[in-house]
Amino acid sequence: AKNAGRNTQRFYDPTMQAALEARAALETDLRLAIKKNQFRLYYQMQVDHSGNVHGAEALIRWQHPQKGLVPPLQFIPLTEETGLIIPIGHWVMETACAQIKRWESDPATRDLQVAVNVSACQFHDSSFVERVIEMLSRHKIKPGNLKLELTESLVLDNVEEAIMKMQALKSYGVLFSMDDFGTGFSSLSYLTKLPLDQLKIDQSFIRNMCMNNRDAVVVQTIIGMANNLGIEVIAEGVESETQREFLEQNKCNLCQGYLFSQPLPVDAFENKLRQMHTY
């Protein structure tokens, strides 16, 4: 009865009605966006403490004809609810693989590891492993140049499935990073079971670690654990030199954040790399 009451009320609530209409409009727009090729991949560099660029994270944007550049948090959640993330995820992976191939012919970009965000629906799809392998072989890229970013919750949905799928791709040489690490409130026991290459410390810890001792301790603990497990560790959301120094002192391998660069379109990313690269 409680539920029925709530449902009935929905139709008489003008705010809710407007929200539903906005959502439906966004969904229609997103279907069109796929057809019209309105998505873009931006790349944000990942650097070590000597300033060498090791890789880049591919981050999607929507080039909307009226709204301009729409950030992913404004549309990715809806694409996950509607299943549109499957075709969009394919586009992301396809575009990233094509980019890796192009970068392989230039010494400045040849060894870049390109990290791609994988959403839960995409990963749980029964043809996920097959699709990734198909793309790797069609584009003829070095599998070690592709890194898949997974979240803890995605893995914990079904740990056995995650292990199987990761191992299958791992045997081809694909790399894995655990994104937003530390935010999942999850048991650490899965860490030893998963074939992970990298832990990515969530930016919420990085943001406050130089002001808040508890965040500092969490960051130090994650870095220490990764180092002891022999897994690479990267900090995201690094915005200040103070933060970078703290991370260097505590032996965090890599940094990503506005201190080095914003996510950039391919051309701007390549220009920035050339500026940094001394030939």
Query: Which residues are near ligand C2E by CB under 6 A?
Result: 44, 59-60, 71-73, 76, 92, 117, 119, 179-180, 203, 236-239, 257-258, 263
Question: Are 266 and 95 in contact, with CB atoms under 8 Å apart?
Answer: no
CB nearer ligand C2E, residue 11 or residue 185: 185
Q: Output the smallest distance, CB 262 to ligand C2E, in A.
A: 7
Question: Are 100 and 132 in contact, with CB atoms under 8 Å apart?
Answer: no
CB nearer ligand C2E, residue 158 or residue 204: 204
Q: Output the smallest distance, CB 113 to Ca ion, in A.
A: 13
- Secondary structure of residue 40 in the 3-state scheme: strand
Phi-psi sector, 242: left (phi>0), alpha (psi -120 to 50), beta: alpha
Q: Output the smallest distance, CB 44 to ligand C2E, in A.
A: 6
Q: How far apart are CA 36 and CA 261, in angstroms?
A: 29
Q: How far apart are CA 276 and CA 56, in angstroms?
A: 14
Q: Which does 243 bind (CB under 5 to 8 A by kind): Ca ion, ligand C2E, none?
A: none
Told to check if 149 binds Ca ion by CB under 5 A, we report yes
Place of tokens 């396809």: 94
Q: Where does this chain touch Ca ion (CB under 5 A) — which range of 15-23, 47-55, 146-154, 270-278?
A: 146-154
Q: Which does 145 bind (CB under 5 to 8 A by kind): ligand C2E, Ca ion, none?
A: none
Told to check if 46 binds Ca ion by CB under 5 A, we report no
**Distance (Å) of CA 187 to CA 85, 142, 182, 184:** 28, 33, 10, 9
Identify each DSSP E strand in 32-123 by its residue range.
39-47, 53-64, 68-70, 113-117
Q: Output the smallest distance, CB 247 to Ca ion, in A.
A: 15
# of chain residues touching Ca ion (CB under 5 A): 5
Nearest to 37, CA basis, from 55, 15, 12, 62: 62
Told to check if 152 binds Ca ion by CB under 5 A, we report no
Q: Which does 44 bind (CB under 5 to 8 A by kind): ligand C2E, Ca ion, none?
A: ligand C2E
Beta bridge partners of 117: 149
- State the first-to-last Cα distance of the chain, in angstroms, to the nearest integer: 72
80, amino acid identity: E
Q: Which does 232 bind (CB under 5 to 8 A by kind): Ca ion, ligand C2E, none?
A: none
CB nearer ligand C2E, residue 109 or residue 119: 119
Q: Which does 119 bind (CB under 5 to 8 A by kind): Ca ion, ligand C2E, none?
A: ligand C2E
Residue selected from 29, 152, 180, 232 as contacting Ca ion according to rule CB under 5 A:
180
Q: Which does 59 bind (CB under 5 to 8 A by kind): Ca ion, ligand C2E, none?
A: ligand C2E
- Rounded to the nearest 5°, which phi and psi values hold at 171? -65, -20
Tokens of 155: 């893995």
Q: How far apart are CA 43 and CA 60, in angstroms?
A: 9
Residue selected from 79, 109, 117, 261 as contacting Ca ion according to rule CB under 5 A:
117
Which positions touch Ca ion (CB under 5 A)?
117, 149, 179-180, 236
